[in-house]
Amino acid sequence: METRSRKIVIMRPAPDRAAVAAAQAAGFEVLEAPLFDHDQPPPPIEEMINFIGDAGAVLAMPQCPIGARVLENCPNLQTAMSLVIGVDHIDRETATRLGILVCNSPAPENILGVAEATVGLMVALVKHLKLNESYLRAGNWYNVAHRGVIMAGRTVGFIALGRIARETAKRLAGWGMRMLAYDPYVDAATMAGLGIEKMELEPLLRASDFVSIHALLTPETRDLIGLDQLRLMKPDAYLVNTSRGGIVNEKALAQALNEGIIAGAALDTFANEPLEKDSELRRVDPNKLIMTPHIIGHPQGVEGPSFRLAMDTARKVLSGELPQYVMNPAAIERWRARWS
C-alpha cells in the first residue's frame, strides 16, 4: 500500500473560505492556485505538475485541463476532481489506468440552473424572441409572420436522461408535451415512470420538435449529432445543447441552419472554449441561433455549493472512503489496491 497524501490542491482561489478552514482543521493541507482567467490559455503543463506536486487530490475548473502528463507525473494523486458537472477536461482513460478516481461536483443549484436554462432556451426559440426583438429595435413593430407557436402538444426528445434532463422533464411535465429519450443506459421502465418514452436515436430525431442534449462528452458521444442526424430532424425543429459542445458537429450545425435544414438552435457550450473568433457559428443568422458563453445554466452563487461538494469528496477519498460521484468506476479496484 502506498502512503496517502493529505494535501489538496485547488487550481483556483477557493470560493468558500469556511470549506478550506474545515479541511485544514481536519488535518488536510490546502494549496490554492491563482485565478486562471476564462479568456486565457491554460497554464503550462510543467507549471501545473510542479504546483500539484505530491498532492493526493487536485480540484480543477475546465480552464485547467488535467491531462495524461499531469496525472502520470503526480504520483500521489488519488483523485482528480472537477469543480463543475462536466469532467471532459480530465483524462479519464489515463486516470483509470493509474487508479485515480475522477469525480465531479453536481451541486443541486447547478443541475437546477441548467434545467431552467434549457427550458428558457426552448421558449426563446419557439417564440422567436430574438427575431421579434431585432425587428422592433430596427424601428419596426408587428409582423404576423414572426409569431411563435405554443409548446403544448409538441414533442421534446432528450439525448441522455441524467439528472439535468430529468429536472428539465419535470419542468415540462405540466405543459402537455410528449417526451422521448435516447439513453442506452436507462431502461424503458425507469423512463416510463418519469412519463418519458424510450426511443432509439434516429426515430427520436425524426419525431421531436425539440432535441435537447444532456450527454457527457465521451468517445461514444463525440460528433454524435452531425449533418446526417440533423437531416433526420423536422425542418421546423429546434436543437438545444447545454451539455458539451463536442457532441454536436459545429460545421454541420452551421450548414443545417444556413440551409434551413432545421429551424433554429441554442448553444451554451462549444467544442473549443472560448469560441474561436473565426467559428462558422458566428456567421449564422443570429435570429436562428442563440449562443451563450457556457454560463446560462450557472446561477449566481453556484460556485460555493459546487466547491463544498468537491472539498467533501476530496476529503473522503484521501481518508480511504469511496465517494458518491465517481465518473470512472473502472478505476475503483485499482484505487483500492493502491491505497487501501
pLDDT score, position 41: 74
Q: Are residues 225 and 125 part of one domain? A: yes
In a domain, 2, yes or no: no
pLDDT at 110 exceeding the cut of 60? yes
Q: Is 244 a catalytic residue?
A: yes
pLDDT at 339 exceeding the cut of 70? yes
Q: Is 166 a catalytic residue?
A: no
Q: Are residues 283 and 144 part of one domain? A: yes
Q: What is the pLDDT of residues 176-206, one digit of tens each?
A: 999 999 999 999 999 999 999 999 999 999 9
pLDDT score, position 273: 87
pLDDT band at 63 (very low <50, low <70, confident <90, very high): confident
Q: Are residues 281 and 159 part of one domain? A: yes
Give percent of the chain with pLDDT exceeding 70: 97
In a domain, 126, yes or no: yes
CA dist., res. 63 & res. 98, Å (int): 23
Q: Are residues 215 and 201 part of one domain? A: yes
pLDDT at 38 exceeding the cut of 60? no
Q: Write down the catalytic residue from 273, 280, 298, 338.
A: 273
Q: Computed from CA positions of residues 63, 333, 218, 180, in that sequence, does the dihedral angle turn out positive or negative?
A: negative
In a domain, 94, yes or no: yes
In a domain, 130, yes or no: yes
Q: Are residues 272 and 140 part of one domain? A: yes
Q: Write down the catalytic residue from 89, 92, 166, 244.
A: 244
Q: Are residues 238 and 127 part of one domain? A: yes
CA dist., res. 54 & res. 15, Å (int): 23
Grid cell, residue 33, equals 492556485
CA dist., res. 230 & res. 237, Å (int): 10
Q: Are residues 313 and 285 part of one domain? A: no
Per the rule left: phi > 0, alpha: psi between -120 and 50, beta: everything else, 64 is beta
Strand order in the sheet with 7-10: 29-32, 7-10, 57-60, 79-82, 101-103
Q: Write down the catalytic residue from 12, 166, 294, 315.
A: 294
Confirm if 263 and 238 have CB atoms less than 8 A apart.
yes
Q: Are residues 123 and 101 part of one domain? A: no
SS3 239: strand
pLDDT score, position 235: 98
pLDDT score, position 281: 98
Range of the domain at 265: 108-291
Residue in 90, 114, 2 with CA at minimum distance from that of residue 42? 90
pTM above 0.85, yes or no: yes
In a domain, 1, yes or no: no
In a domain, 72, yes or no: yes
Grid cell, residue 191, equals 423512463
pLDDT at 36 exceeding the cut of 90? no
pLDDT score, position 1: 52
Confirm if 331 and 100 have CB atoms less than 8 A apart.
yes
Q: Are residues 213 and 149 part of one domain? A: yes
Q: Are residues 251 and 113 part of one domain? A: yes
Q: Are residues 285 and 136 part of one domain? A: yes
Q: Are residues 195 and 67 part of one domain? A: no
In a domain, 296, yes or no: no
> In DSSP terms, which residues pair with 156 in a beta bridge?
179, 210
Q: What is the pLDDT of residues 208-237, one digit of tens each?
A: 999 999 998 888 999 999 999 999 999 999
Q: What is the pLDDT of residues 238-287, one digit of tens each?
A: 999 999 999 999 999 999 999 999 999 999 999 998 899 999 999 999 99
Q: What is the pLDDT of residues 284-313, one digit of tens each?
A: 999 999 999 988 877 676 788 899 999 999
In a domain, 85, yes or no: yes
pLDDT score, position 40: 67
Helices (H), ranges, the chain: 17-25, 45-52, 68-72, 92-98, 108-126, 129-137, 163-172, 188-193, 201-207, 227-232, 250-258, 303-318, 332-339
Domains held by the chain: number: 2
CATH number at residue 46: 3.40.50.720
> In DSSP terms, which residues pair with 29 in a beta bridge?
7
CA dist., res. 79 & res. 56, Å (int): 7
Q: Is 273 a catalytic residue?
A: yes
